[in-house]
Chain A
Amino acid sequence: MAGALTIARRELAGYFATPVAYVFIVIFLVMSGTLTFTLGNFFDRGTADLQPFFGFVPWLFLFLVPALTMRLWAEERRLGTIELLLTLPVTQWQAVLGKFLAAWLFCGIALALTFPLVLTVNYLGRPDNGVIATGYIGCLLVAGAYLSIGAAISALTKNQVVAFVLAVAVCFLFAASGSPVVTDFLSRRIPVMAEIARGISVTERLGDLSRGIVALRDLIFFGTFIGFWLFANTLAVDHRKAD
């Protein structure tokens, strides 16, 4: 674990040593804020909660998280530092976990910086802060799910553009599979598939959490989801590291 944490620390410092961190955070804050107040009808709804915000975050992460993960392994392979990293006394699993943890913590920092929204609803009304807290946990879990997908795909290619596009596509699959458009279409034609589509949907799980419902099965879903993709990531690193 110490090895993974050391790698995570280096990675996180790396984000802030390059413009990546600042661009990501600024764009995320501007877009999440703007969308919440404009498209989300924050004021007109007349309810003191952050439902519109939690509705937009997964779609913002859909594009921003792959932008974060596209360089995770692709950059190491391009610079050749993967050879350095994997010949240090750490296992591949520790390296995978360290990189994932750093990216996840970074998303956590970006989410935490949306705190003015929480202050605003508390100033304007009396929201249920418990629901807001579970909504944030949900957003963090969605970020983790997307990160694990993006990191695994980044390990498969040296090309960052390919890594980005593929990660967005795969994340979109898991984001859209729970949307009414998809499930309505499927339940009219192939009802079995509709159930499966809802079952693997990341946004469907966030829906529960942003309403304040913390179900064990949702947590297990995210845990298994992230675990699966990290495992795939380790296999991809092992298979493609020296190519």
Chain B
Amino acid sequence: MSALIEIDRLTKRFGTFTAVDNVSFQVARGEVLGFLGPNGAGKSTTMKMLAGFVTPSAGAARICGEDVVARPVEAKRQLGYLPEGAPTYPEMTVQSFLGFVARIRGYRGGEERERVAHAMRLTTLEGVRLQPIETLSKGFKRRVGLAQALLHDPPVLVLDEPTDGLDPNQKHEVRRLIGQMAPSKAIIISTHILEEVSAICTRAIIIARGRLLADATPAELARRGPSLDAVFRELTLSQEAP
């Protein structure tokens, strides 16, 4: 079967600045793709286009075969998306926020409660379910964002820096969760923590200045130089000079 995520010559221009330049790749079920690049490389913009938030200047993105521009609602049903910074409504409690997302996704009554409870169990949020999100610590807020993305058990997960701001234990917990879900889903995570890529990703893509520079397994990438760190620096810094 075809890949669950297809990105085809995707380009985004802001005025004369090209944030994402002709990027193409595919992600199949069972793959965890690490999306790497320096800040401002175009990682988030690519993910925003895939999630249907930013309209591409050219090219196409498809989720489970549904074009995100032509059939946005159908594509978004198959997608769990954690935006950069994990935004949530601060005045809502964890439970009412997840209930809102569940209802938007079409769950009602017992099924809604079941989905919310399941998402809270996966991200260990039961202890704070009645607290307003604004009173939670950064790590908890991030987990609320993650719970929202996992709630409907989507075949495609796009997570923009899912472990940012978490303590080492929580990072470990999230990585374990992603590893657990990996076989049945196509997952993209963006990160600039390189050891995270070696730990959970089956494949890594490096982009800088909007261009795709490498697409290989973390092990293959690491073999190109003394370490993954060095390879990353060499690839992305050589791009800095025009």
To the question of whether A and B form a pair in one complex, the answer is yes
- CB within 8 Å of A: which of B80-127? 81, 83-85, 87-92, 96, 100-101, 103-106
Please count how many residues in chain B sit with their CB below 8 Å of the partner chain's CB atoms.
32
Contact B53 A83 (CB under 8 A): yes
A89 within 8 A of B: yes
CB distance from A17 to the nearest CB of B (A): 4
Contact partners of A242 in chain B: CB under 8 A: 48, 53-55
* Nearest-neighbor residue (CB-CB) of B77 within chain A: A89
Contact partners of B88 in chain A: CB under 8 A: 81, 84
Q: Quick one: which of B73, B76, B91, B101 contacts A18, CB cutoff 8 A? A: B91
Q: How distant is the Cα of A9 from the Cα of B97 in the complex, in angstroms?
A: 12
B147 within 8 A of A: no
Query: With A7-B104, A14-B91, A17-B92 given, is the CB distance from A91 to B72 under 8 Å?
Result: yes
A13 within 8 A of B: yes
A2 within 8 A of B: yes
Contact B100 A10 (CB under 8 A): yes
B51 within 8 A of A: yes
Contact A6 B100 (CB under 8 A): yes
**Inter-chain contact count A-B, CB under 8 Å?**
71
CB distance from A150 to the nearest CB of B (A): 20
Q: How distant is the Cα of A80 from the Cα of B82 in the complex, in angstroms?
A: 12
Contact B53 A241 (CB under 8 A): yes
Q: How distant is the Cα of A73 from the Cα of B75 in the complex, in angstroms?
A: 24
A196 within 8 A of B: no
B52 within 8 A of A: yes
A213 within 8 A of B: no
Q: How distant is the Cα of A34 from the Cα of B100 in the complex, in angstroms?
A: 39
Query: With A81-B87, A88-B101, A89-B105 given, is the CB distance from A14 to B53 under 8 Å?
Result: no
B61 within 8 A of A: no
CB distance from A177 to the nearest CB of B (A): 37
Q: How distant is the Cα of A91 from the Cα of B106 in the complex, in angstroms?
A: 14
B197 within 8 A of A: no
Contact partners of B105 in chain A: CB under 8 A: 88-89
Query: With A3-B104, A10-B100, A242-B48 given, is the CB distance from A87 to B53 under 8 Å?
Result: yes
Nearest first, the 3 closest Cβ-Cβ pairs linking A and B are A80-B87, A89-B76, A83-B83
Residues of B within 8 A of A (CB): 48, 51-55, 72-74, 76-77, 79, 81, 83-85, 87-92, 96, 100-101, 103-106, 132, 145, 148
